[in-house]
Amino acid sequence: MRTLKLLVEGETDKRLVEVLFQRLFHEVTIEIEPLGSKQKIRKYLANTTSNDLVNTAVLIDLDAFTVADASIEARRQMSEPSCLVFAAVPTVEAWLFADKVTAMAYCKTEHRRDIVNRLPSCEEIPYPNHVAKEVFPTKEDWPIIMANIDISVATARSSSLRSFLNGISEFFNISVDQVKESYARNISRDIFVNLLSEVTPSDTVLYRTMDGYQYTSEQMIELIRSGDHIGVEYATDVLRLARNLLAKQARREAGK
């Protein structure tokens, strides 16, 4: 099994990400090293050979309009290294608010709960670190909150968290069910049901499981409506295909 060294900026980043890894990647070996700043991470990368960076990844804070923009800018700021580079948008602390219900549960006053309830999308929060200090003044609580967030909800609401966990999953060639489910949570079931109803005859075989069982369009519509895990898996596959097609088109346009 491969091992991974993850470079992060600060000690708080390490503590929060460490909790996520303990929950999702406890069967693999990941060393998290806080280097203190982006500049120090960039210097470390510049002084390390490509061969030594094969099992290295980077996670930095970066504010951008989209996660794709943040990823491009993060690689640029790190001088285009030969390792994986991820961006937490706008900061790792923002992920504390990706599952609002859990975040509110750890607010000890009504005023703090009201602040969290009124927050925009976690990736649109200005200065998440300052907000976290205001609503969770005991910093030792932050890893506890991260340990209790609903991963499927959080990754549905934070594209940068989902991208990061997906990247780590792909590095180790393992699957994280909570992240897979987040794709299907992002889009209403009605959209998939209407799409299937519009373009596929009811008796068309749409999906085959590994054990050879077949599902028709009519059956899949019912599975999606009911929230069955087979319906969620199918919706996830459709969304992943759409994402890959969009990414391919974006790369093609960028190469023109």
My answer on whether 161 and 192 are in the same domain is no
Say how many C-beta atoms besides its own lie within 10 A of residue 204's C-beta: 12
For residue 63, tell me if it sits in a domain.
yes
Residue 49 inside a domain? The answer is yes
User: Among 156, 177, 198, which residue terminates a domain?
Assistant: 177
C-alpha to C-alpha distance for 237 and 68, rounded to whole angstroms: 20
Q: List per-residue pLDDT tens for the chain, 256 residues long.
A: 689 999 999 999 999 999 999 999 988 999 999 999 999 999 999 999 999 999 999 999 999 888 888 999 999 999 999 999 999 999 999 999 999 999 999 999 999 999 999 998 899 899 999 999 999 999 999 999 999 999 988 988 888 998 999 899 999 988 776 565 555 555 567 677 777 776 778 888 888 877 788 998 889 888 887 878 788 778 877 877 777 787 777 777 766 6
Q: What are phi and psi of 187, to 5 degrees?
A: -125, 140
User: Same domain for 165 and 215?
Assistant: no
Q: Does 66 share its domain with 170?
A: yes
Give me the number of domains the chain comprises.
Answer: 2
Same domain, 86 and 46: yes
Domain assignment present for residue 182? The answer is no
- Same-domain pairing of 34 and 98: yes
> Are 55 and 2 contacting, i.e. CB atoms less than 8 angstroms apart?
yes
| pLDDT 10s digits, 84-94 | 999 999 999 99
* CA pair distance 97, 90, nearest whole angstrom: 12
Looking at the structure, tell me whether residues 166 and 51 fall in a common domain. yes
Q: Are residues 17 and 107 in the same domain?
A: yes
User: Which residues form the domain of 71?
Assistant: 3-177
Considering the domain architecture, whether residues 155 and 194 belong to the same structural domain is answered as no
Residue 32 is predicted with a pLDDT of 98
Amino acid (1-letter code) at residue 183: Y
Q: Give the list of residues 6+ apart from residue 223 with CB closer than 8 angstroms, or none.
A: 215, 230, 231, 234
d(CA 184, CA 232): 6
